[in-house]
A and B are shown apart, each in its own frame.
Chain A
Amino acid sequence: MLRLIVQRLLLLIPLLLGLSVLLFGWVRALPGGPVQAMLGERYTPEAAAEIEAQLGLDQPLIVQYGKYLLRLLQGDFGVSLQSGRPVLEEFFTRFPATIELTVVALVFAIGIGIPLGYVAARRAGSVVDHSAVVVSLIGVTVPVFFLAFILKYLFAVELGWFPTTGRQSATMIATHPTNFYVLDGLLTAEWDAAWDALVHLILPGIALGSIPLAIVARMTRAAVSEVQNADYVRTARAKGIKASRLRGQHILKNAMLPVVTTIGLQVGLLLSGAVLTETVFAFSGIGSFLADSVFNADYPVMQGFVLMIAVVYALVNLLVDVSYGLIDPRLRRQQ
């Protein structure tokens, strides 16, 4: 197991090197070149000269790349043009918000997707089965930001059940030791603040969760239909095993293997793909900041965030692979 982890971590190195080359090239391909991209509207000849010296633009490309890589390794991802703060700092202040949103989206997707997919497979052709198909089609075909609009319009604007935007009400006075607002409220015993933050997460969570919901429901349905016809399930039933045990131990447990992988892959995509949902709900996570940086041509942020998101994505996939080895005894024995 340890060997697998080390192996996969080592494989990350070439991936990150490759990405850094692409991003290095990307900045140079931007309209106006790297200096314009780094300075934006704050372009002055003096500032340009400073950046040029810092980037070593008069030196060969390979030296420039080396310097860029060295800065990355030191955690220097440049400075945001919008806020003037270091890119990495911006990333880590906002990341907790996106993690919270991802958790809510996943709870929604798994909490509905697995039971829905299970019942759909067990009662093929029933109303539940048809509704599972509809749910999985909605997740794939309705643009996530359109769904976010509709949810916002119906439940926030028209019905007023939920807040329209943000992470917490502006009137809420709360302290934030960790930047996970719900957790902060619980830690500091500011219950109303925790509740307020949670309520703010519901609508964006549902919108963001719609895609994994579709995929989880579909995967669960497929896996359960396959497992329930397996020989060992028939044997277990013939032995007269209790229905609840057959469901839990024989069908669900075995059907969950591919579903877990799917969920893991979705986590990576959710952490990164919240750009649209966060923007609709003006939810200040990494996604909405990235969208702002696109609007404002804040290239250092785009460059740094893309790299960080790729790292997170790769790490999550690594965790998925490792956990897959843990839950599937067949894979455990092979190692």
Chain B
Amino acid sequence: MSANELPVTDGEAAAPLHASIHGDGPAGADHGGEGVWARAWRTLRRNPVAIIGFVIVAVFVLVAVLAPLLAPYGGTELPGRADVRPTLIPGPSAEYPLGLDRYGGDVLSKLIWGAQASLLVGVLSTLFGLTGGLLLGLLAGWFGKWVDFAVMRLVDLMLSVPSLLLAVSIAAIVGQSSMAVIIAIGVVQVPIFARLLRGSMLAQKGQDYVLAASALGLTRRSVTMSHVLPNSVGPVIVQATLSLATAVIEAAALSFLGLGGGEPSTAEWGRMLTAAQQELAVAPRLAILPGICIAVTALGFTLVGESLREALDPRNRTRR
């Protein structure tokens, strides 16, 4: 958070200068002595929806990180292989609390390892999208003019193809593996982040505190890096949280379309859901359990993202 605090102090230093011109506070600065983030945090703590979201996300992350300790069996182990017949997939028992799947894997263990796989895909693809979007957005915002034009047309192009098709096309080039899924989902996020960053940087550019900073003789680079960028970060964090939800869902969709690569028995929610298709009438739990895991995880990230968006929205600030 320290990087985000920077413009607040700088903004306050600059405030007297432009306050005499406009009598209006800089966007990033705060007159109550409380930062934007501290205020957002205070709002979030009192919001039950946000708390539910945080709890879901926390449980998900804990399960993912502690998978080796929590899961009774390894992710690739098939402990019940001998017990499974083509006509009989054993349901819940003392040994396998959520039953077996048709490969003889322990469903509980696979769900736990699946959390790890989802977290990995979500975080890595979002980081990929964020980095790419940041680079493109910075490039456009920094150079402006024709670079801006070229970058934004590229972004338009990428957005003109529906995201799932874009991901599928990219996966076709990269090959079938979990890395391909991460790259495909990440690339889909790039134009979204690029447009968002550029938009909010442009909005910041017109702000008085930026004018003040330039008037004080700061170089364009330091204005961009230490004033404009940190102040544009709010919507990006919101989008990143929401894109973690999308990533979990899209990864499942790509698995469903057969682009995940690897063994069909892999401990991954989307793959489990896809494999369960054949046993829908015999053992619906095999589809329902991973489906619920995907939905609840996506719900957690969505709730956190949406309440964060609300908490950071300056329009909601004046109402209290």
In the complex, chain B residues whose CB is within 8 Å of the CB of A295: 257-258
Q: Does B302 contact A (CB under 8 A)?
A: yes
Partner of A15, one of B157, B169, B259, B277: B157
Q: Is the CB of A15 within 8 A of B161?
A: no
Q: Does B256 contact A (CB under 8 A)?
A: yes
Partner of B153, one of A18, A140, A272, A291: A18
In the complex, chain A residues whose CB is within 8 Å of the CB of B298: 140-143
Q: Does B280 contact A (CB under 8 A)?
A: yes
Q: Is the CB of A302 within 8 A of B172?
A: yes
Measured CB to CB, the closest approach of chain B to A216, in angstroms, equals 17
Given A14-B153, A22-B157, A31-B175, A143 and B291 contact (CB-CB distance below 8 Å)? yes
Q: Can you list 8 A-B pairs with a CB-CB distance of less than 8 A?
A: A29-B173, A143-B298, A145-B252, A145-B253, A153-B280, A276-B257, A295-B258, A309-B165
Q: Is the CB of B162 within 8 A of A309?
A: yes
Q: Is the CB of A153 within 8 A of B157?
A: no
Chain A interface residue count, Cβ-Cβ cutoff 8 angstroms = 43
Given A142-B295, A313-B162, A153 and B172 contact (CB-CB distance below 8 Å)? no
Q: Is the CB of A294 within 8 A of B173?
A: no
In the complex, chain A residues whose CB is within 8 Å of the CB of B299: 137, 141
Q: Is the CB of A150 within 8 A of B153?
A: no
Q: Contact mask A257-284 → B, CB, 8 Å, 1/0? A: 0000000000011001101100110000
Partner of B172, one of A145, A146, A299, A310: A299
Q: Does B88 contact A (CB under 8 A)?
A: no
Q: Is the CB of A30 within 8 A of B280?
A: no
Given contacts A145-B273, A302-B168, 9 further A-B contacts (CB under 8 A): A19-B157, A19-B160, A30-B173, A143-B298, A149-B280, A276-B257, A280-B277, A306-B161, A313-B160
Q: Does A193 contact B (CB under 8 A)?
A: no
Given A272-B162, A309-B165, A18 and B157 contact (CB-CB distance below 8 Å)? yes
Q: Contact mask A235-273 → B, CB, 8 Å, 1/0? A: 000000000000000000000000000000000110011
Q: Is the CB of B172 within 8 A of A294?
A: yes
In the complex, chain A residues whose CB is within 8 Å of the CB of B296: 141
Q: Is the CB of B288 within 8 A of A269?
A: no
**Those of A137-172 within 8 Å (CB) of chain B:** 137-138, 140-146, 149-150, 152-153, 157
**Those of B91-128 within 8 Å (CB) of chain A:** none
In the complex, chain B residues whose CB is within 8 Å of the CB of A302: 168-169, 172
Majority SS of interface residues in chain A? Answer: helix
In the complex, chain A residues whose CB is within 8 Å of the CB of B287: 146, 149-150, 153
Q: Is the CB of B284 within 8 A of A153?
A: yes
CA distance A290 to B164 in the complex (A): 11
Measured CB to CB, the closest approach of chain B to A172, in angstroms, equals 24
CA distance A152 to B280 in the complex (A): 9
Q: Which residue of B161, B276, B302 has the most chain A CB atoms within 10 A of its CB atom?
A: B161
Q: Does A48 contact B (CB under 8 A)?
A: no
In the complex, chain B residues whose CB is within 8 Å of the CB of A299: 172
Give the residue name and chain of the B residue nearest to A147 (CB). B291
Q: Contact mask B152-174 → A, CB, 8 Å, 1/0? A: 01101100111011001100110
Q: Is the CB of A276 within 8 A of B284?
A: no
Measured CB to CB, the closest approach of chain A to B292, in angstroms, equals 9
Q: Is the CB of A310 within 8 A of B161?
A: yes
In the complex, chain A residues whose CB is within 8 Å of the CB of B252: 143, 145-146
Q: Which residues of chain B have a CB within 8 Å of any CB of chain A?
A: 153-154, 156-157, 160-162, 164-165, 168-169, 172-173, 175, 245, 249, 252-253, 256-259, 273, 276-277, 280-281, 284, 287-288, 291, 294-296, 298-299, 302-303
In the complex, chain B residues whose CB is within 8 Å of the CB of A313: 160, 162
Partner of A141, one of B153, B175, B245, B280: B245
Q: Is the CB of A297 within 8 A of B291?
A: no
Measured CB to CB, the closest approach of chain B to A317, in angstroms, equals 9
Give the residue name and chain of the A residue nearest to B252 (CB). A143
CA distance A306 to B168 in the complex (A): 10
Q: Which residue of B165, B256, B281, B288 has the most chain A CB atoms within 10 A of its CB atom?
A: B165
Q: Does A101 contact B (CB under 8 A)?
A: no
CA distance A146 to B270 in the complex (A): 9
In the complex, chain B residues whose CB is within 8 Å of the CB of A145: 252-253, 256, 273
Partner of A146, one of B153, B165, B175, B291: B291
Q: Is the CB of A276 within 8 A of B256?
A: yes
Q: Does A106 contact B (CB under 8 A)?
A: no
Give the residue name and chain of the A residue nearest to B284 (CB). A153
Give the residue name and chain of the B residue nearest to A11 (CB). B156
In the complex, chain A residues whose CB is within 8 Å of the CB of B165: 272, 275, 290, 306, 309
Q: Is the CB of A276 within 8 A of B161?
A: no
**Those of A292-324 within 8 Å (CB) of chain B:** 294-295, 297, 299, 302, 306, 309-310, 313-314
Q: Does A43 contact B (CB under 8 A)?
A: no
Q: Is the CB of B257 within 8 A of A275?
A: yes
Q: Does A26 contact B (CB under 8 A)?
A: yes
In the complex, chain A residues whose CB is within 8 Å of the CB of B257: 275-276, 279, 291, 294-295
